Amino acid sequence: MAKRKKPIHKSLIVGSAVFVAFLCFMLSIQSYITYSRSLYKRYDNKLENILTYISNQIDMDDLYQCTLTGKKSEKYDKLQTLLNGMVDDFELFYLYSLFTRSDSVYNICSATNREERARGEEDMQLLEPTDAYPPSEILKFTKAIKEEKTSFFEETSDYGAAYTACKPYVNSVGVHFGVLCADISIEELHKTVNHYVVYNVLLTLCLGVLFGLVLLIWLRHNVTGPILALEKSARHFAEKSRDKKTPDELIFDDPDIHTNNEVESLANAISQMSEDMRNYVQGILTAEEKARSAQEQAQDMTELAFKDPLTHVNSKVAYDKMKDSLQEEIETKGAATFALLMIDVNNLKEVNDNYGHDCGDKYICGACHLFCNIYKQSLVYRIGGDEFVVLLQNSNYKNRTRLLKTLDAEFQKTKNNTSRDPWERYSVAYGMSEYKPGDSLEDVFKRADESMYQKKMEIKGLKKAQAPS
């Protein structure tokens, strides 16, 4: 029995762990996206309200004139005071307004927080240039000035990373001349999101582990435990059955499973199957015994049909089957390489009449034995009482002329040997024909038969010429 490489309970533990890990991963991503959007939306609303309130306090035409002349007005000073107060009241990272020209940034009015004022820092001057922003950030401000609504983006400056809201300055005639910006620390925003995500991951992980443990306990009781018991019984049954000789020894140990589910049905099915298999094997053995007896009888009958009972060469039935097979080869391939040798045993009637049929049978068998020894590599068929056919193929076909001379010499030797009994002086007439392209098997047989008949006539004519007058 092959060793189990992946036990089911281990697979379930690994699968549960992977599932919990994947669940935590997906929920973490979902929590991060959802909470980030919610938090960013909250910050958007907060910054939008601050910028809207400040914009409502500004005389845009007066501020526009200040940017053109570079001179502060009374309302400009009030705006400076407002910005300085609001940057502290709302704990903003930075609150300022600016405009861009030729890839440069110029201050309009920027707040100074309480700590900066305590250190003696002064407010930035109107139209004071600053190089604190890289070109990519300047491009964002330039785009925000042209917008009709508040823009939001993240930026990095000398003061640190920040989340920025920009509301364009638009005077009474619709000229966009600057932008009011409020920054909050992006680090605080990210820290808040990360704390929320970590909390949700830990909560999900705890719930996932709890769910996995409950699932494994339930599976152990209802699925894996019964399956292990069933597998043990089935493996034990297979090991016991390997060396058993009789079906009665094929006994399945029922694991006695009561789970009221498919596992119990499977156990019952296997138990019933083992019993049915035992009965089936018994039936097969009985049927095999009968079939073996019938097969032996059929084989004996086939051998009798394909073997000549007197000479033990192939019979007329075997010859007819060979003809069909050879003719099919000719028709399929369009050609074949073979020759047929027709042999007719002479003087059989005289031997039967003068010495009896037993001697006649010996005469036939002796002649057959002689040409069978010459054509050892060929199939020999008895197709009549004294007629035989030899199928010449392969080496016998290549040596057909030499073998024919040997045949003639051997039969001449026995026929003229007067020391032998008359029924041992064998004489045959023979004729050979080779297959030629376009022939049928019948054509080859007919030529061989005609050649044999001509040989027989020659032998009879010679005998008449030798007879006394």
Cα–Cα dist 224/218, whole Å: 9
**Tokens 């008949």 — which residue?**
453
pLDDT tens readout for residues 33-51: 887 788 888 889 999 999 9
Residue 234 belongs to some domain of the structure: no
Quick one: the chain helix, strand, coil %, rounded to 5?
60, 15, 25
Q: Are 84 and 123 in contact (CB under 8 A)?
A: yes
Dihedral angle sign, alpha carbons of residues 269, 271, 274, 279: negative
Total structural domains within the chain: 3
Q: Residue 359 has which token pair?
A: 């001697």
For the ranges 15-19, 211-215, 292-296, which has the lowest average pLDDT? 292-296
Sheet strands (E) in 69-189: 94-101, 104-110, 129-130, 151-157, 160-170, 176-185
pLDDT tens readout for residues 89-138: 888 888 999 999 888 999 999 999 888 889 988 899 999 998 878 888 88
Judge if 282 and 337 occupy the same domain: no
Cα–Cα dist 155/253, whole Å: 75
Judge if 341 and 458 occupy the same domain: yes
Report which of 321, 318, 323 is spatially closest to residue 443, judged by C-alpha positions.
323
* pLDDT over threshold 90, residue 180: yes
**pLDDT given at position 351:** 93
Residue 251 belongs to some domain of the structure: yes
For the ranges 201-210, 330-339, 379-388, which has the lowest average pLDDT? 201-210
Judge if 81 and 188 occupy the same domain: yes
Judge if 64 and 188 occupy the same domain: yes
Q: For a pLDDT cut of 90, what percent of the chain falls above it?
A: 45
For residue 394, the enclosing domain spans: 316-466
Cα–Cα dist 367/21, whole Å: 93
* pLDDT over threshold 60, residue 458: yes
Average pLDDT over residues 314-337: 89
Q: Are 9 and 228 in contact (CB under 8 A)?
A: yes
Residue 348 belongs to some domain of the structure: yes
The alpha carbon of 167 is separated from its chain's Cα centroid by a whole number of angstroms, namely 61
**pLDDT given at position 1:** 47
Residue 53 belongs to some domain of the structure: yes
Judge if 290 and 397 occupy the same domain: no
Cα–Cα dist 10/303, whole Å: 62
**pLDDT given at position 469:** 42
**pLDDT given at position 91:** 84
* 244 vs 1: which has the higher pLDDT: 244
Q: For a pLDDT cut of 70, what percent of the chain falls above it?
A: 86
Cα–Cα dist 357/355, whole Å: 7
* 202 vs 285: which has the higher pLDDT: 202
Residue 200 belongs to some domain of the structure: no
Q: Tell me the HSE value of 40 on the side-chain side, using a 13 A CA sphere.
A: 16
Judge if 321 and 299 occupy the same domain: no
Q: Residue 464 has which token pair?
A: 């008449």
* pLDDT over threshold 60, residue 145: yes
Residue 238 belongs to some domain of the structure: no
Output the CA angle 436-440-444, nearest 5 degrees. Answer: 60
Judge if 42 and 127 occupy the same domain: yes
Q: Residue 255 has which token pair?
A: 């694991």
Judge if 265 and 130 occupy the same domain: no
Which residues, 6+ apart, have CB-to-CB distance to 100 below 8 Å?
A: 106, 138, 141, 142, 145
**pLDDT given at position 314:** 93
Average pLDDT over residues 205-212: 78
In terms of phi and psi (left: phi > 0; alpha: psi -120 to 50; beta: otherwise), the region of 207 is alpha
Q: Which of residues 192, 210, 230 is at a domain's end? A: 192
Dihedral angle sign, alpha carbons of residues 257, 258, 264, 265: positive
Residue 234's pLDDT band (cuts 50, 70, 90) = confident
* pLDDT over threshold 90, residue 396: yes
Judge if 266 and 321 occupy the same domain: no
**pLDDT given at position 146:** 94
Cα–Cα dist 237/379, whole Å: 54
The average confidence (pLDDT) of the chain is 84
Torsion of CA 276, 278, 280, 286, to 10 degrees: -150
* pLDDT over threshold 90, residue 303: no
Domain of residue 38, CATH code: 3.30.450.20
Q: Which of residues 152, 176, 192 is at a domain's end? A: 192
**pLDDT given at position 53:** 94
* pLDDT over threshold 80, residue 347: yes
Q: Are 360 and 351 in contact (CB under 8 A)?
A: yes
Which residues, 6+ apart, have CB-to-CB distance to 373 below 8 Å?
A: none
Residue 464's pLDDT band (cuts 50, 70, 90) = low
Residue 65 belongs to some domain of the structure: yes
Q: Residue 128 has which token pair?
A: 């004071």
Q: Tell me the HSE value of 133 on the side-chain side, using a 13 A CA sphere.
A: 21
Average pLDDT over residues 53-71: 94
Q: Are 168 and 51 in contact (CB under 8 A)?
A: no
* pLDDT over threshold 90, residue 370: yes
Q: Are 71 and 93 in contact (CB under 8 A)?
A: no
Claim: this prediction has a pTM higher than 0.85:
no
Which residues, 6+ apart, have CB-to-CB distance to 376 below 8 Å?
A: none
For the ranges 30-34, 296-300, 354-358, which has the lowest average pLDDT? 296-300
**pLDDT given at position 16:** 73
**pLDDT given at position 107:** 94
Q: Are 257 and 227 in contact (CB under 8 A)?
A: no
In angstroms, what CA-CA distances link 464 with 231, 353, 461?
Answer: 93, 20, 5
* pLDDT over threshold 90, residue 13: no
Output the CA angle 133-124-148, nearest 5 degrees. Answer: 60
**pLDDT given at position 6:** 64
* pLDDT over threshold 50, residue 182: yes
Report which of 272, 259, 166, 188 is spatially closest to residue 218, judged by C-alpha positions.
259
Judge if 332 and 277 occupy the same domain: no
Residue 199 belongs to some domain of the structure: no
Average pLDDT over residues 377-402: 93
Residue 463's pLDDT band (cuts 50, 70, 90) = low
Bridge partner list, 391: 340, 379
Residue 240's pLDDT band (cuts 50, 70, 90) = low
Cα–Cα dist 386/379, whole Å: 17
Domain of residue 350, CATH code: 3.30.70.270
Judge if 256 and 133 occupy the same domain: no
Judge if 263 and 147 occupy the same domain: no
